[in-house]
Amino acid sequence: MLDIKFVRENPDIVKQNIKNKFQEQKLPLVDEVIELDAKKRSTQQEADKLRAERNKLSKQIGALMGQGKKEEAEAVKKQVGADSARLEELSALEKELDEKVTKIMMVIPNIIDPSVPIGKDDSENVEITKYGEPVVPDFEIPYHTEIMERLDGLDLDSARKVAGNGFYYLTGDIARLHSAVISYARDFMINRGFTYCVPPFMIRSNVVTGVMSFAEMDAMMYKIEGEDLYLIGTSEHSMIGRFIDTIIKEEKLPYTLTSYSPCFRKEKGAHGIEERGVYRIHQFEKQEMIVVCKPEESPMWFEKLWQNTVDLFRSLDIPVRTLECCSGDLADLKVKSIDVEAWSPRQKKYFEVGSCSNLGDAQARRLKIRVDGETGKYFAHTLNNTVVAPPRMLIAFLENNLQADGTVRIPKVLQPYMGGMTELK
């Protein structure tokens, strides 16, 4: 969420940013919110003036009563009563205008970084760098569900009966591999200086609206019926929510955290044939990384975060590439974002396995996460990135480590987490 003062003083910049994100339908909101804010400030000024006058008259009444001037005191009381009625009206109006301003400000997108390429959707994202040599073997690679089923590691039919489409049972060595990848990712991030956390898997609505846009919320979140609770779509939600309405001592920054959680997502919309099986699902597990830092340090942390994901995948011998997300592909709160994509030798192309985002002070402003620094209080910057998210990551792992005889090679770094196994048979 932007600072209303910034919107007042820079309406053209805010409008151009909206155009850059191809959200022209939101352009009228800028003038509307500026007008509402002017009314709100005018109302507030009148109310403050009346409050000051009331305090002054209250003292005057006490003095007149002390002097025995009851009639004069009663006249002043009538004036106070009239002012109180008007003050009540103004207070109600002030609250109404404040709610309207906040509602619009929650919809106006954050200002994107100048380096972000302008484009309508993810088809216009820009490749930055490739890491590792993409290999297409001289034998056929089956669809990932077939690889898992051959290893007696996947049961979609039973899951469909129990929970419906978009769920799965992982069994045997595939289930063990799933847990091994998560454990390895946890230790990988701990070794890079991040503090390990296991957060709540449900959050209240004020945290939901603090960490994401309304559009994202509608597309992703499952609500618990009858309660003010939502299932998290990623641990970033509850991890950033941990700092809600806090003032952090500057010397404690940065907070560098890595968190494990299950994730729950609606995944609305139609999906392509390559997104069947366990590619796009309603429930999965993820290791995440989160940073809360000073504004001037967020670009540096952004670079470090996506590099962590690249390094982890390369340690597992999986080729990856990074993509700069264009303006139209950025969620409203994001300043800048990079996707990490893994190589699929079966499809002969890359597919997304993680996303790194710098949200500037948008989440901090919504959740009131402030820093107490030498020059005063200011809003922190927040960033997040996927370390690893199986089972999608397992697709990349199985395809890139599948051997001609149907066995799956286990890289050395993962072997200790698999009880010393060197391959899946």
Q: Where are the chain's structural domains?
A: 4-105, 122-424
Nearest in space to 272 (alpha carbons), one of 349, 184, 168: 349
The CA distance from 207 to 221, in Å, is 12
State which residues of the chain have pLDDT below 70. Answer: 54-55, 57-64, 66-71, 73-74, 76-83, 268-275
- Cα 195 to the center of its chain, rounded Å: 19
Q: Give the list of residues 6+ apart from residue 375 with CB closer than 8 angstroms, or none.
A: none
Domain 4-105 in CATH 1.10.287.40? The answer is yes
Q: Read off the tokens for 128.
A: 């930055």
pLDDT per residue over 63-89, tens digit each?
Answer: 667 666 666 766 766 666 666 777 888
Nearest in space to 242 (alpha carbons), one of 299, 288, 290: 290
pLDDT per residue over 153-199, tens digit each?
Answer: 999 999 999 999 999 999 999 999 999 999 999 999 999 999 999 99
Report the chain's mean pLDDT, rounded to a whole number.
92
The CA distance from 351 to 315, in Å, is 18
pLDDT attached to residue 270: 46
Say yes or no: do domains 4-105 and 122-424 share a fold: no
Beta bridge mates, 355? 339
pLDDT attached to residue 144: 95
> Which class is 122-424 in CATH?
alpha beta
Give yes or no for a contact between 219 and 321, defined as CB atoms under 8 angstroms apart: no
pLDDT attached to residue 74: 63
pTM of full prediction above 0.85:
yes
